[in-house]
Amino acid sequence: MNKRYFISGVIATLSSFALLLTSCGDKKSREVWESTESFESGGKLKVVATTTMVQDLVRVIGGDDLEVYGLMGEGVDPHSYEERPSDIMALKSADIIFYNGLHLEEKLQERLEKMANTHAVTAGIDRSLLIIPEEKYDAYADPHVWGDPKLWSRTILIVVEALSTKDPKNGDKYADRGAAYLAELTELDNWARERLGQVSAEQRVLVTSHDAFMYYARAFDFEVKAIDGLAPGDKVGPKKVKELVQFIKDRKLKMIFPESAVNSKGIKAIAKDAGVSVSEHELFSDATGELGEMETINGEAYDLGTYTGMIKHNVNAIVEGLK
C-alpha cells in the first residue's frame, strides 16, 4: 500500500477529531457531542472509546463518518480510571461503545459489560495467543496486547463489523479503511523488526516501570523486567527490587526506561542503586502521547497521539538507548 496516501488520510481524519478527543471529555467535546443530531434522525454515529489506543483504532476505521468521545487521554492509567459525570452521560447517549477488554479498564469493565452496544476490541483474539501471567491476575490474560502490532491488528475486524452492523450504508467504507489499516500495521511490524535488529542479543532486555511489555517482548525477541506488576499499583516487595538491581548489574545493561503513565520515582531509584542510566524518553505503555504532538527521528515524522506513532516512538527510544 502507498504509505504516503495512508498517512495523508490519517492526518485528515485526525484533524476532523481534534476537538473531540480529550482526556475526559472536556466542555468543548460535550458541547459538540450534545449539539449534533441523533443517528436515528440522520446524524453521525456517536461512539465512545476508552483508551487512546482504542480511540485511534476507531478513528482510523470510522473516518469522518463518526463522532468519537474519548474517555481517557495521554498519560492516563486505564487500570485505575474512574469515569466522571460527563463520561457517564456520554456512555448513556452513545450508539456504540468500544473498550479494550481483558480487564484493562478494571473499574469500568463491569459497567460496560452490562450496557448495550458495547464491544471489547480484544474479543476476536484467540485465547491461545494471549499471555497468562503467573501472579494475582492469573485468572485473566495480560491486557497489553497492543505491544504486538500483529496481535493488535486482530482488533480491526471487531470494529469494522460493529460499525457496519450499526451503520450498513457506510459498511464498505469501514471495510476499506480496515483493510488499509491492516496493511499499515503489517508494514509497521516489519519496520519495527528491522529497526530493533540494531540492538545486540546481550542488550535485548527491557526494564520498565510496570509489566506492560510482555507482548512486545514476545513479538520482538526481548526479555522484560519490571518494578511493578500488570497494573502500576501492583507493587513488588523489597526482595524482588534487590533482585532486579542485581539483574541489571549482572547483565551490564546500558539503560532502563520510565513510562509516561507511571510515576518515574521508582525507576530512578532502581537506576541509582544499579548504576545504570535512565532514558530521557518515556515509553508509552498504557496510553499514547498527545494527539497532534509530532516527533521526528531519522527524518521521519509521526504523531505521538496515534498507535503508529506510539510504537515508533517506543522502538526508536529503545534502539537509541540499547544499541
HEC readout, the chain: CCHHHHHHHHHHHHHHHCCCCCCCCCHHHHHHHHHCCCHHHCCCEEEEECCHHHHHHHHHHHHHHEEEEECCCCCCCCCCCCCCHHHHHHHHHCCEEEECCCCCCHHHHHHHHHCCCEEEHHHHCCHHHCCCCCCCCCCCCCCCHHHCHHHHHHHHHHHHHHHHHHCHHHHHHHHHHHHHHHHHHHHHHHHHHHHHCCCCHHHCEEEEEECCCHHHHHHHCCEEEEEECCCCCCCCCHHHHHHHHHHHHHHCCCEECCECCCCCHHHHHHHHHHCCEECCCCECCCCCCCCCCEEEECCEEEECCCHHHHHHHHHHHHHHHHC
Tell me how many domains the chain contains. Answer: 2
Most confident of 25-39, 178-192, 202-216, 222-236: 178-192
Which pLDDT value is given to residue 41?
77
Does residue 71 share a domain with residue 84?
yes
Does residue 228 share a domain with residue 313?
yes
Which of 187, 205, 224 is the last residue in one of the domains? 187
Edge to edge, the sheet with strand 118-120 lists 66-70, 45-49, 96-99, 118-120
What is the per-residue burial (b if ≥16 Cβ within 10 Å, else e) of 188-224? bbebbeebbeebeeebbbbbbbbbbbbbbbebbebeb
Q: Which CATH number covers residue 158?
A: 3.40.50.1980
Q: 301 - beta bridge partners?
A: 296
Lowest mean pLDDT among 25-34, 239-248, 299-308: 25-34
Which pLDDT value is given to residue 9?
42
Does residue 149 share a domain with residue 89?
yes
Q: Are 25 and 88 in contact (CB under 8 A)?
A: no
Does residue 90 share a domain with residue 26?
yes
Does residue 249 share a domain with residue 108?
no
pLDDT one-digit tens code per residue, 291-316: 999 999 999 999 999 999 999 999 99
Torsion of CA 14, 16, 18, 22, to 10 degrees: -100
pLDDT one-digit tens code per residue, 35-72: 678 888 788 999 999 999 999 999 999 999 999 999 99
Which of 140, 159, 187 is the last residue in one of the domains? 187
Which pLDDT value is given to residue 321?
95
Is a pLDDT exceeding 50 seen at residue 3?
Answer: no
Which of 139, 168, 187 is the last residue in one of the domains? 187
Does residue 37 share a domain with residue 182?
yes
pLDDT one-digit tens code per residue, 132-154: 876 555 567 999 999 999 999 99
Does residue 255 share a domain with residue 180?
no
Which pLDDT value is given to residue 235?
60
Closest CA to 255 of 321, 195, 323, 211: 321
Does residue 263 share a domain with residue 156?
no
Lowest mean pLDDT among 15-24, 155-164, 260-269, 293-302: 15-24
Q: Which residue has the cell 500500500?
A: 1
Does residue 198 share a domain with residue 113?
no
Task: Report, as an integer, the average pLDDT of 95-120.
Answer: 92
Domain that holds residue 289: 192-322
Does residue 261 share a domain with residue 227?
yes
Q: pLDDT tier at 237 (50, 70, 90 boundaries)?
A: low
Which pLDDT value is given to residue 236?
61
Which pLDDT value is given to residue 86?
84
Does residue 36 share a domain with residue 181?
yes
The pLDDT > 70 percentage for the chain reads: 85
Which pLDDT value is given to residue 27?
53
Averaged confidence pLDDT in the chain: 86
Q: Are 148 and 129 in contact (CB under 8 A)?
A: no
- Please indicate whether residue 322 or residue 79 has the higher confidence score (pLDDT): 322
Q: pLDDT tier at 211 (50, 70, 90 boundaries)?
A: confident
Does residue 243 share a domain with residue 170?
no
